[in-house]
Amino acid sequence: MALARMRSVVLDCPDPRLLADFYRAVVGGEITAAEDNWVVLTVDGLRLPFQLAEEFAPPTWPTGERPQQFHLDATVDDVEAVEPQVLGLGATKHAVQPGEAAGDTFRVYLDPAGHPFCLCWD
Number of structural domains, the chain? 2
What is the CATH classification number for the domain harbouring 32?
Answer: 3.30.720.120
pLDDT digits (tens, 9 = 90+) for 24-61: 999 999 999 999 999 999 999 999 999 999 999 999 99
40 and 61 assigned to the same domain: no
47 and 95 part of one domain:
no
Over residues 7-23, the pLDDT tens digits come to 899 999 999 999 999 99
Q: What is the pLDDT of residues 55-110, one digit of tens each?
A: 999 999 999 899 888 899 999 999 999 999 999 999 999 999 987 776 778 999 99
- Its domain, for residue 10, covers 1-54
CATH of the domain at 122: 3.10.180.10
* pTM of the predicted model as reported, rounded to 2 decimal places: 0.90
Contact 38, 78 (CB under 8 A): no
- Are 81 and 92 in the same domain? yes
Three-state DSSP class for residue 82: helix
Residues 20 and 65 in one domain: no
